[in-house]
Amino acid sequence: IDQAKKSSANKAVVEGRRAMLDEWLAWRERMQADLAMEREDMGLPDLSEEQQALVVDEEEEQEGREVE
Amino acid sequence: MRPILLQGHERALTQVKFSKEGDLLFSVSKDHTVCAWYSANGERFGTYKGHQGALWTVDVDPTTTLLASGGADNTIRLWEVRTGRLLKTWEFSTSIKRVEFSEDGRQLLGVTEKRMNQLSTVIVYDIKQDIEAEQDDEPALRILVDELPKVTVAGFSYLNKYIITGHEDGSVTQYDAKTGEELHNSPSHEDGMQVTDLQWSADRTYFITSSKDKTAKLHASDSLDVLKTYTTDTPLNSAAITPDPVQYVILGGGQAAMDVTTTSARQGKFEARFYHKVFEEEIGRVRGHFGPLNYVAVDPTGKCYASGGEDGYEVEREKEQGIRF
């Protein structure tokens, strides 16, 4: 019986977390879609200047690897 | 990898910031200097000298060309990152508690401290991203904060749409960043418990605040809704969000020994605390400071984080390891 209790408690935790994660991911998706639309309406590229700083970096690194 | 301990400041660190590419780390201290470090190895890149008082704040633009700093000498200074040349000094009648560039680097905001006969203000300058250009003397926008309590922190949301401020009473306010109109004030933290830090997610659609009420909270930039709450057992000075896909927040704080009145309070409880961003649960702590953590910052590439302490050290750590000042 203890085992059964434990496993149902664990299941509740897992389900609770899954619900939190799903809710979070759904909210993120909505925000990202809204932001992408606003940027497009304003004629701006997908990523902000500060996000772009990271992308350029990755591309440079990959180019470096190709040369090797 | 062992954490990197950066020793260069003589007094308490007040803020540390990574460049947007993550390769440099900037720090300010009560010792009046701004330092820049290579985040990969902790070697010093340079020092920016000229301020005449304790520094409270530093920020760098998205191209790592311009650096802004502010502090107790009532000035905001703009520097060329590469050469250390002072490009502009703006003078005020009270100290500068916060500076921050917008995500496009075209605007810079500053928070001036409230003093007798002086209101808190948030001032915004249009920034010319050319090191040879003459920067404007006059702000493009000035928000006078007269009906709300003193502003402690502030920043620009996504698309420079809103200016969000944190206040001495624990509330958070959203302003229209174009007009300066107050849109919404929300009592996020416990009443009377100061908001101590405000840091953005990578796309600036949400942000985290830390407070003396021992919690950090995640807010939506547009609605100001509190999305998540992280509860700790110590007053917090700083909170940072790790970039995706890592779903952590890092919190820093601690009570100075002189402020600890209860004997139950553990000595040396000066740890960076990791919480799961979505599940709001504590994951772990990292020790390393001998005094409260004044600031935590995350490398935008997600490789490491840095903490600056009241003890004058700065530490860089790899992910759950990291940088300490």
Write the pLDDT tens digit of every residue in B187-213: 999 999 999 999 999 999 999 999 999
* CB contact (8 A) between residue A57 and residue B21: yes
Per-residue confidence (pLDDT) for residue A1, from 0 to 100: 72
Write the pLDDT tens digit of every residue in B71-129: 999 999 999 999 999 999 999 999 999 999 999 999 999 999 988 788 899 999 999 99
* CB contact (8 A) between residue A54 and residue B21: yes
What percent of chain B stands above pLDDT 70?
A: 93
Per-residue confidence (pLDDT) for residue B322, from 0 to 100: 53
Among 1.10.10.10, 3.20.20.70, 3.50.50.60, 2.130.10.10, name the CATH number for the domain at B2-318: 2.130.10.10
Cα–Cα dist B121/B123, whole Å: 6
Helix (H) or strand (E) holding A33: helix A2-41
Domain ranges of chain B: 2-318
Beta bridge partners of B46: B36
* CB contact (8 A) between residue B202 and residue A51: yes
Cα–Cα dist B53/B73, whole Å: 5
Q: HSE-up of B12 (CA within 13 Å, CB side)?
A: 16
Measure in Å the smallest separation between the Cα of B209 and chain A Cα atoms. 18
Cα–Cα dist A25/A23, whole Å: 6
Per-residue confidence (pLDDT) for residue B320, from 0 to 100: 46
Cα–Cα dist B149/B159, whole Å: 27
CB B60 within 8 A of CB B15: no
A62 backbone dihedrals φ, ψ, rounded to 5°:
-70, -40
* Nearest of B70, B110, B97, B99 to residue B195 by alpha carbon: B97
What mean pLDDT do residues B239-262 have? Answer: 83
Chain A environment of B66 (Cβ under 8 Å): none
Q: In the structure encoding, which two tokens stand for residue B237, read together?
A: 């000075």
Q: Could you identify the residue written with the tokens 């209790």?
A: A5
pLDDT band at B237; cut points 50, 70, 90: very high
Per-residue confidence (pLDDT) for residue B268, from 0 to 100: 46
Per-residue confidence (pLDDT) for residue B258, from 0 to 100: 59
* CB contact (8 A) between residue B279 and residue A17: yes
What percent of chain B stands above pLDDT 90?
A: 79
What mean pLDDT do residues B253-275 have? Answer: 68
**Nearest residue in B to A28, CA atom:** B205
Per-residue confidence (pLDDT) for residue A67, from 0 to 100: 45
pLDDT in tens, chain A (68 residues): 778 888 888 899 999 999 999 999 999 999 999 999 999 999 999 999 999 999 875 555 555 444 43
Chain A residues touching chain B at CB-CB below 8 Å: 17, 20-21, 24, 27, 31-32, 35, 38-39, 42, 44, 48-54, 56-57
Interface of B with A in 177-236 (CB under 8 A): 202-206, 220, 227
Name the region of A50 (left: φ>0; alpha: ψ -120 to 50; beta: rest). Answer: alpha
Strands B162-167, B172-176: pairing kind:
antiparallel
Task: Say yes or no to pLDDT of B261 above 90.
Answer: no
The DSSP secondary structure of B217-230, one letter per residue, reads EEEETTT--EEEEE
CB B253 within 8 A of CB B243: no
Where b means 16+ CB within 10 Å and e means fewer, B160-193 reads bbbbbbbbbbbbbbbbebeeeebeebeebbeeeb
Measure in Å the smallest separation between the Cα of B161 and chain A Cα atoms. 11
Per-residue confidence (pLDDT) for residue B282, from 0 to 100: 95
pTM, to two decimals: 0.92
Q: In the structure encoding, which two tokens stand for residue B62, read together?
A: 């998205």
Write the pLDDT tens digit of every residue in B137-180: 999 999 999 889 999 999 999 999 999 999 999 999 999 999 99
Question: Which residue among B64, B104, B301 places its CB closest to the CB of A48?
Answer: B104
Query: Who wins on pLDDT, B45 or B310?
Result: B45
Task: Say yes or no to pLDDT of B323 above 80.
Answer: no
